[in-house]
């Protein structure tokens, strides 16, 4: 019995170290093992042209995927994937059928999409028109006699066609200029219920009479 005990305790630290490395290698090997599985994910289509997405169906797609087990487990936890729609959808408007391509979906560096069910999604889109709108500065405590220049002094909005002739304003975010030393240059974000381009403008504030 003592002999067995001596054999067991001899070089115990080396035996424990070998066991730890064996478990580590096993863990790495199982996580790097390539597997194939089926996952159901919520999808979110993203417009890439002059249109916006009103609705779409179905809201979930089934993917047959292949990849490392660790990546597939992460994908199941994520539960959602975005994909870009073709830019030409804005030409039609209304409900449009879009054929899904495997390359349109990025599910991870080590994940390959093998099949998508259903292979077609229906998207309801609304055509947008691009309109140039002047920018109104919104400043508090502007020094008396100061001259404000906006660069650029207009923004481009993508609007639904029914709003083409409706007066729409784009303002800078409110900035308090109290104590500002002139001349000064600022970069100020724009504020609008639509997405303006650009999203911010350069503001140059000078003393009256300066060039």
CA distance 78 to 61: 14
Residue 200 belongs to some domain of the structure: yes
CA distance 88 to 34: 37
pTM: 0.60
pLDDT of residue 13: 55
Residue 171: which CATH number? 2.170.120
- Tell me the percentage of the chain whose pLDDT exceeds 70: 83
C-beta separation of 196 from 205 below 8 A: no
Residue 21 belongs to some domain of the structure: no
Please say if the pLDDT value at position 6 is more than 60.
no
Torsion of CA 62, 66, 69, 73, to 10 degrees: -20
Total structural domains within the chain: 2
Pair type for strands 60-68 and 34-46: antiparallel
pLDDT of residue 60: 95
Average pLDDT of span 133-155:
92
- What is the average pLDDT value for the chain, to the nearest integer? 83
pLDDT of residue 5: 55
pLDDT of residue 12: 54
Residue 165 belongs to some domain of the structure: yes
Predicted confidence (pLDDT) per residue in 13-34, tens digit: 555 555 565 555 454 545 457 7
Same domain, 108 and 67: yes
Residue ending a domain, among 105, 127, 149, is 127
Same domain, 116 and 157: no
Residue bearing the bigger pLDDT, 206 or 29: 206
Same domain, 122 and 36: yes
Same domain, 45 and 84: yes
Same domain, 75 and 53: yes
Same domain, 76 and 111: yes
Residue 114: which CATH number? 2.170.120.30
Residue bearing the bigger pLDDT, 178 or 27: 178
pLDDT of residue 110: 80
Predicted confidence (pLDDT) per residue in 113-141, tens digit: 999 999 999 999 988 888 899 999 999 99
At what angle are helices 69-78 and 12-31 packed, to 10 degrees? 60
User: Residue 78 is encoded by which pair of tokens?
Assistant: 């994520």
Domain range holding 193? 137-206
pLDDT of residue 161: 80
CA distance 35 to 68: 6
Please say if the pLDDT value at position 7 is more than 80.
no
Average pLDDT of span 36-65:
92
């Amino acid at each position: 019995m003592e002999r067995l005990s001596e054999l067991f305790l001899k070089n115990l630290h080396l035996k424990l170290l070998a066991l730890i490395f064996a478990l580590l290698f096993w863990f790495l090997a199982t996580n790097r093992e390539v597997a194939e599985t089926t996952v159901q994910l919520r999808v979110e289509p993203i417009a890439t042209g002059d249109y916006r997405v009103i609705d779409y169906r179905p809201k979930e797609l089934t993917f047959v995927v292949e990849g490392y087990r660790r990546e597939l487990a992460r994908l199941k936890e994520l539960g959602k994937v975005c994909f870009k729609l073709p830019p030409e959808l804005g030409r039609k408007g209304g409900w449009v059928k879009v054929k899904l391509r495997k390359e349109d979906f990025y599910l991870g560096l080590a994940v390959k999409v093998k099949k998508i069910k259903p292979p077609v999604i229906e998207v309801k889109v609304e055509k947008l028109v691009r309109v140039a709108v002047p920018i109104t500065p919104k400043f508090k405590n502007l020094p008396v006699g100061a001259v404000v220049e906006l660069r650029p002094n207009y923004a481009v909005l993508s609007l639904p066609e029914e709003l083409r002739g409706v007066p729409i304003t784009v303002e800078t975010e409110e900035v308090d200029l109290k104590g500002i030393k002139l001349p000064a240059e600022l970069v100020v974000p724009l504020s609008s219920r639509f997405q303006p381009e650009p999203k911010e403008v350069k503001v140059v504030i000078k003393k009256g009479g300066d060039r």
